Structure 1
Amino acid sequence: MENTYNNLKQGERGAWISILAYIFLSGLKLFIGYIALSEALWADGLNNATDIIASVAVLIGLRISRKPPDADHRYGHFRAETVASLVASFIMMAVGLQVLFQAVSKFRVQSYESPDMIAGWTAIGCAVVMYFVYLYNIRLARRIGSAALTAAAQDNRSDALVSAGTFVGIVGSQFGLPWLDPLTALAVGLIICKTAWDIFRDSSHALTDGFDAAELQAIRQTVRGISGVKKIIDVKARVHGNNTFVDMTIAVEPELNVSESHAITEKIERRMLEAHGIAHAHIHIEPFESAAK
């Protein structure tokens, strides 16, 4: 448990780096996009502004998740980051729809103006910065096994790609294709909405105790290979933030005493940690003869 809390604390570092990067880059993009008349860069800046909210949500979630169990939260506070991610998805969707509306309105006016090339250089420079933020966060996430930070890192990478696409759109507008700039803004709006939907889908799935069937089958396969386990009667799993909780009922030989049966549960717990990184497993034992009836 102590290791889990230490990992959550390290994850906060990655969240802070994302927040600081997004604050600087969103401000720069919105300013340059406004003075350079670039719809695409302006939309990209709004995208980064929503990413600030998402990163803050991850940070708050990680911090609350570190609170130990109390009288009202016997399983701890690990789901706090999932709730925060769900709230962030609604905010991101609202901004994405706003970007789409502005881009479509620009098309309806049918009077395009090529943005200044400073907007393009700003976009590609920001893409490079975000790619390095992605590299830092994905390495940290893999080291500490943080699903939330992994998702944040993937968002960093998508933002780098969006900025690179913005650069392409702005460059294209310099060569007699000014409609490429609002078209790129439209694409950015769609990406924001898609990211918001993905976060909403994953968060709502976790909050309703959904769990990947293939991963559950892998857990079954791991336990089947443990000596002393005669039958797996039932396996359930749910996600609490970065932690997986497993509830399992197994059958063992009825002749075993309490100490011998307990030794089998300890084997299962060790294998869960080694093979799947699961530190929270509740094992219930029943005699094999009863289970077979």
Structure 2
Amino acid sequence: MNFLVRRFIKNYQDTKDANVRTNVGKLSGIVGIFSNLFLFVIKFMIGTIVHSVSIQADGVNNLTDAGSNIISILSFHLANKPADKDHPFGHERTETIASLFVGILILVLGFETAKESISKVIHPGSIDFRIASVIILLISIIVKFWMYAYNKKLSKTYDSSLLEATALDSISDVCGTTAVLVSTLLSPVLHFNLDGYMGIVVSGIILYGAYGLLRDMINSLIGEAPDPELVHNIVDRIMAHPAILGVHDMMLHNYGPNKIFASAHVEVDSSKDIFETHDHIDNIEREVKENMNIDLVLHMDPVKVNDPETELYRAKVVKAIHQIDPKWGFHDFRIVSGPTHVNLVFDLVIPFEEKYSQEEIEDMLLKHIQSDKKIYFVLTIDHPYA
């Protein structure tokens, strides 16, 4: 497979290039079509000859896989279409939709295989052992494991969910075909037809693979939490600039491996010249785009630096929050101070699972903050996006 990639894919080392990803995906699909059709033909023929429903079902599974490969080729082609007025963020999510469709096909196949296998358990046929069956099943295991290996490697190299889905499907087939092989070898020894039972095992593996694939693709379409390592890398790049005092409210939107949009709030010194600060912000956004291929938008939050009263109450809030729950955090802190009272204005970040009302939260904070002045809170309850 490495030879084919080097032979037919121009600039294959450029793993972030959309055209390279598309061509690699198409090449993988073409190889998969021929491999799966080869396995379907030999399995279905032998399964028919020896009257084995599990071998036939395994062959039909390969035929479905060939159809999935065709879908993947089309989806890679569509995903590479440039952005237009109706789809300003591009078409890369076509790959995710195709993966979802593949999962549905696998799910249907799993149910059909289970139905046939249960029928075979209820009405078992005679045992017909052929050495040709064993040889073909071994060939199938080798071919499918090879397909798993190259799709898994390509999915990591070129960051492709569809190639990952194809790899998972292949390793499921390896497990399923191994079960059929066990049935073929043990049935004559035990004088008991295990064909239907192993068919149920195969269907269970197929259904489990479909569930995992559908779960991942649905989560991707709904919008799942971003990769913590990616968030950490973006924050590190932002905080590397001395003008930035803090980062919060980071949000990432993924429209495909090459279409990631991010936004974040950054705390800056309110006493600095706004044009100078804005220049720093522009430089950070360009740097992230050039080095990480992420479209980043930063919002400036000015904060008072080296103000004794602000720092006093900030320390009180830090201590109070740590005593209540170390998982809580806050940002955008400022105060409005008067002779008799002080307003503490900040965003409180709490986990999604917290069910406290705002009034309960303010009461807990007040119990942990000691002050000569009366304290009022102007709170915005927030949750971590990343």
**TM-score normalised according to structure 2 size:** 0.67
Secondary structure at 2:85's aligned position in 1?
coil
Counterpart among 103, 116, 123 of residue 89 in structure 1 = 103
Counterpart among 233, 236, 239 of residue 248 in structure 2 = 233
Secondary structure at 2:217's aligned position in 1?
helix
For 1:212 and 1:51, the matched residues in 2 are separated by 30
Contact 1:41 1:166 (C-alpha < 8 Å) held by counterparts = yes
**Deviation for aligned residue 1:268:** 3.5
For residue 264 of structure 1, what is the aligned residue in structure 2?
284
Contact 2:99 2:165 (C-alpha < 8 Å) held by counterparts = no
For residue 249 of structure 1, what is the aligned residue in structure 2?
264
**Cα distance, 1:110–1:267 mapped onto 2, change above 3 Å:** same
For 1:242 and 1:31, the matched residues in 2 are separated by 41
**TM-score normalised according to structure 1 size:** 0.87
Counterpart among 64, 71, 79 of residue 78 in structure 2 = 64
For 1:270 and 1:234, the matched residues in 2 are separated by 22
What are the superposed Cα offsets for residues 143-180 of structure 1, whole Å, 9 maximum, x if unpaired?
32323213322322332332233212211112134432
* 1:194 maps to amino acid: Y
* 1:150 maps to amino acid: E
Secondary structure at 1:288's aligned position in 2?
strand
Counterpart among 57, 65, 71 of residue 43 in structure 1 = 57
Contact 2:180 2:195 (C-alpha < 8 Å) held by counterparts = yes
For residue 199 of structure 2, what is the aligned residue in structure 1?
185
Greater RCO, CA 8 A, separation 6+ = 1
For residue 276 of structure 1, what is the aligned residue in structure 2?
none
Which consecutive residues of structure 2, in runs of 5 or more, have no partner in the other structure? 1-14, 305-331, 335-386
For 1:222 and 1:148, the matched residues in 2 are separated by 30
Contact 2:33 2:66 (C-alpha < 8 Å) held by counterparts = yes
* 1:156 maps to amino acid: S
Contact 1:229 1:250 (C-alpha < 8 Å) held by counterparts = no
Moved more, 244-253 or 121-130: 244-253
For residue 221 of structure 2, what is the aligned residue in structure 1?
207
For residue 119 of structure 1, what is the aligned residue in structure 2?
133
Residue 152 of structure 2 corresponds to residue 132 of structure 1: no
**Deviation for aligned residue 1:195:** 1.5
For 1:207 and 1:130, the matched residues in 2 are separated by 29
For 1:73 and 1:14, the matched residues in 2 are separated by 27
Q: How many residues align?
A: 287
**Deviation for aligned residue 1:233:** 2.6
Which consecutive residues of structure 1, in runs of 5 or more, have no partner in the other structure? 274-278
For 1:63 and 1:186, the matched residues in 2 are separated by 36
**Cα distance, 1:178–1:115 mapped onto 2, change above 3 Å:** farther
Describe how 1:158-197 pairs up with structure 2 within 5 A: 158-197=172-211
Counterpart among 10, 30, 36 of residue 44 in structure 2 = 30
- Higher fraction of helix: 1
Counterpart among 4, 9, 21 of residue 7 in structure 1 = 21
Contact 1:123 1:163 (C-alpha < 8 Å) held by counterparts = yes
Moved more, 147-156 or 56-65: 147-156
**Cα distance, 1:183–1:30 mapped onto 2, change above 3 Å:** same
What are the superposed Cα offsets for residues 3-37 of structure 1, whole Å, 9 maximum, x if unpaired?
13322222221122112211221222112111111
* 2:177 maps to amino acid: S
For 1:241 and 1:95, the matched residues in 2 are separated by 28
For 1:191 and 1:166, the matched residues in 2 are separated by 12
**Deviation for aligned residue 1:87:** 1.9
**Deviation for aligned residue 1:244:** 5.6
**Deviation for aligned residue 1:74:** 0.3
**Deviation for aligned residue 1:258:** 3.1
CA RMSD of aligned residues (A): 2.6
Moved more, 149-158 or 121-130: 149-158
Same amino acid, percent of matched pairs: 22
**Cα distance, 1:246–1:231 mapped onto 2, change above 3 Å:** farther
**Cα distance, 1:238–1:56 mapped onto 2, change above 3 Å:** farther
**Deviation for aligned residue 1:91:** 1.9
What are the superposed Cα offsets for residues 241-267 of structure 1, whole Å, 9 maximum, x if unpaired?
434623222313452343322112233
Contact 1:9 1:66 (C-alpha < 8 Å) held by counterparts = no
For 1:253 and 1:61, the matched residues in 2 are separated by 48
